Chain A
Amino acid sequence: MKKPTLFIPHAEFKAAALVVAVAALIVAFVLYVLTARGFFEDTQRLVLVTDNSEGIRPGMDLGFSGFPIGRVNRVELSDDGNVRILVDVPVKDARWLRESSVFTLERSLVGDTRLRAFSAQLTDPPLADGAERSVLRGDAGEQIPQVMAAAKTLLENLERMTAPEAPLATALGHVQTVTGRMQGRYGALGGLLGSDENAQKLIATLDRSNTLLAKADARVFGKGGVMDDSQAAVAELHGLLRDARDSLKKADAILADAQAIAADARGATTDLGALRSEVEASLRKAGRLIDEVNRKWPFARDTEVKLP
């Protein structure tokens, strides 16, 4: 028996339309991907040099202020062992890169490695095509060994501190003993002094001290006590000081007189100096007069020099 035949009007056209639509979708998607990968864009090359390519892969972005402005095209080793990261920067985005731009490679503990560009001076000349720049690296992962070493040391110290024979455990045991004693009849005093007996002795001593202080108070501050005598002595001392002050005033006057006498003596000394000067002047005049008389007197020596 024959199966019934299905008839679809314009089946060939519909099938062709479906195939064409699917093909168009595929071609459009491929073109979209090519556009997304920058296949139709004019780019310029930027070469970044670093010493470690870990985390860098072709296709990753070069960011500027959070916006992707370039894409890593290839990563290769140079002859000197450094890593060369070849970045394609679209020409329309290349204006953000200047001669003074700085490039960083940041690798965090979680997430992707990031290439970033920083241009502080946008007035500087633009970066040339094929320019080669060094990359500054910041790697959180490199600090993990130091952190682990520090954590290990910390844990070892903690283990030593919490060991049964550790000083901390011993100290805590002592604290427990002291606090246990503090729960006795004499409270903290018993804990501090070691036993209730010692605390009792201290309290008895305090009682006796109080009694003694009461007696001392009566002897010192009571009527006819030491303080009264002291006050009388102080009053007497005050009188003595007043007498001494009067005496000192008199001595001061005497000293003033002596000072005046000394001033007179200094004046007299000044006059003697002047008198001496005058005498010396008179003597010099008399000397010159005698010399003059000697030159003019017949007894004067002949001082001429006669030639032979």
Chain B
Amino acid sequence: MNGNALPAPHRDPAGRTVGWWRMLRIAALLLAATLSPAAWTQPTRRAVATQVCLTAMRTLPRFALLSGLLSLVLVHIVVVTAQSYGLTQFALGTVIRVLVVELLPLAAALFIALSGSLAGTPPVDDEEAPDGAAGIPRALLAQVVARAVAVVALATLAGGIALALAYLGVYGFTPWGVAGFTRTVGQVFDPIVLMALGLKTGLFAAAVATIPAACDADGARAGDPTLHGTVRLFAVLVAVEILSLVVEFF
């Protein structure tokens, strides 16, 4: 079945709305099942642990390298530009705000989303029967948890790397810039920014974890499931980013 043969509910606005609603409902069910203590049986814990380890092994080193390179390039560009305009006092704040607050959480979410959609769900358990928690398959539950953990872990790790590279880029290998660096970090991360960063990362993690799985689990949907879920995921990520910017700057 190709895209032109999509059923009516996915072509007209009402059908799209129904599709979005169904996806959000399944995503909410997945979240609820994940947070339900009854779902965390021993086999589930083992499956989740295996999936978390697999996802972390597959993504953490690559993303650390990628985010390090990205941070290095951006820090260099911002610092050199600020020096040429005589605005070096703003370079560090700009780098922290751009990288740690804005770019890296989004990059982590996109990285996990893309790696998940390209690699598919790895087999972690032979048992395909429902786990008993709202009828969610154990492998799906493990995938949801592993993706959420991976997004938070990648964003945290990349933020730490970016902070270290920003310090080195601005002050070099000297301990005498720690006081100024700490002060700048304190100025950038006021309570609203800190809260927005936490909420944004959490929403990114929830979206990346649940939306592709919800689209996969939506049996009534037609067409390419992976592409369809990825498009919806990107739309949600953009919406969360815009919401975060609104909270931070307005």
**A interface list, Cβ under 8 A from B:** 2-8, 11-16, 18-19, 22, 25-26, 29-30, 32-33, 35-38, 58-61, 68, 110-112
Q: List 19 A-B contacts (CB under 8 A).
A: A2-B126, A5-B123, A6-B122, A6-B124, A12-B46, A14-B53, A18-B52, A18-B53, A18-B149, A22-B153, A25-B157, A29-B159, A32-B185, A33-B186, A35-B182, A36-B183, A36-B185, A38-B186, A111-B90
**Known pairs A36-B183, A111-B87; A8 contacts B50 (CB<8 A):** yes
A16 to B46, CA, bound (A): 11
Partner pick for A14 among B49, B125, B182, B187, CB 8 A cutoff: B49
Interface code B103-123, partner A: CB below 8 Å = 1, 0 otherwise? 000000000000000000011
A114 to B57, CA, bound (A): 48
In the complex, what residues of B have CB within 8 A of residue A35's CB?
182, 186
Interface code B205-233, partner A: CB below 8 Å = 1, 0 otherwise? 00000000000000000000000000000
In the complex, what residues of B have CB within 8 A of residue A32's CB?
182, 185
A111 to B88, CA, bound (A): 11
A3 to B126, CA, bound (A): 7
| Total cross-chain contacts (CB, 8 A) | 90
**Known pairs A4-B123, A15-B52, A18-B149; A37 contacts B45 (CB<8 A):** no
In the complex, what residues of B have CB within 8 A of residue A13's CB?
49
A111 to B157, CA, bound (A): 32
Q: A7-B50, A15-B50, A18-B53 are in contact. List 11 more A-B contacts (CB 8 A).
A: A3-B126, A5-B124, A6-B124, A8-B53, A11-B52, A12-B49, A14-B52, A15-B49, A18-B56, A29-B160, A111-B89
A32 to B156, CA, bound (A): 14
In the complex, what residues of B have CB within 8 A of residue A61's CB?
183, 187
Partner pick for A30 among B56, B126, B190, B194, CB 8 A cutoff: B194
Classify chain B's interface size.
20 to 34
Within 8 A of A (CB), among B79-97: 87, 89-90
Within 8 A of A (CB), among B160-196: 160, 182-183, 185-187, 189-190, 194
**Known pairs A11-B46, A14-B53; A3 contacts B123 (CB<8 A):** yes
